[in-house]
Copies of this chain bind each other. A is one copy, B any other.
């Protein structure tokens, strides 16, 4: 019987200057991958330095979390960029974080686009291509993280075309439609807040690659990593719960592996 394993990834290093954001020191105990902001939508060189060091000390997989150049909007606003702009933004931000990895003898393992850039990659293959080209031109060993389900279906193929490994991601605390998409945050019930239920869904994703949609349909969702959050004490508490249940269920939590090739 194959080992059951899953990755829990969490955005980190989102503080900036004297501004604090996220309970990184708490949540890092329970996750296996850190998506570290690179100074554009969040983070700064000192935060990056500290966060890479902390991730390395905890044996957590380090990834770059590139975003749009929009600190005020936290990278959540759509910005109409050309393909070259996106490629070069990704290269720049990966490189900046990579230097802190070198300084701390940490290995960068993955790249997960942030916020509005992540959404654009899920919806627009041209954006996903620009990101993949950026990653591949710096380091083709990096894993490209994208949304699992029909919306991000193109990401695996695009990653492959650029010689990249891809890891697909699910959200344990988000409701899914029967066709495998995330329920829009604008709709009621889009975000699940019951820790037991969320932990349960995480286990189902890890063990059976399945999740129950809003209408009760059981849908297939083959994912390599589950996104969790560390912004509030409640969020950290939920991650702790998820981690505890995964441990008890015998699911090994460790840094992401790419999705199997088809």
Name A residues whose Cβ lies closer than 8 Å to a Cβ of B: 16-21, 39, 44-46, 48-49, 69-74, 77-81, 84-85, 88-89, 91-100, 102-103, 116, 137-139
Contacts and interface: CB of A to CB of B under 8 A. Distances in A.
Nearest to A78: B80
Contact of A77 (B16, B20, B81): B81
B91 A100 contact: yes
Contact of A88 (B19, B45, B81, B91): B45
11 contacts: A18-B74, A39-B92, A44-B72, A49-B88, A77-B80, A78-B79, A92-B99, A94-B99, A95-B97, A95-B98, A96-B99
Given A21-B19, A79-B77, A137 B102 contact: yes
Contacts of A21: 18-19
Given A44-B72, A95-B99, A99-B138, 19 more contacts: A17-B72, A17-B74, A18-B74, A19-B20, A45-B85, A46-B88, A69-B70, A69-B72, A77-B81, A78-B78, A88-B100, A91-B99, A91-B100, A91-B103, A94-B99, A95-B96, A95-B97, A95-B102, A103-B137
A80 B19 CA distance: 19
Nearest to A95: B99
B139 A102 contact: yes
Contacts of A94: 99
A84 B48 CA distance: 12
Contacts of A74: 17-18
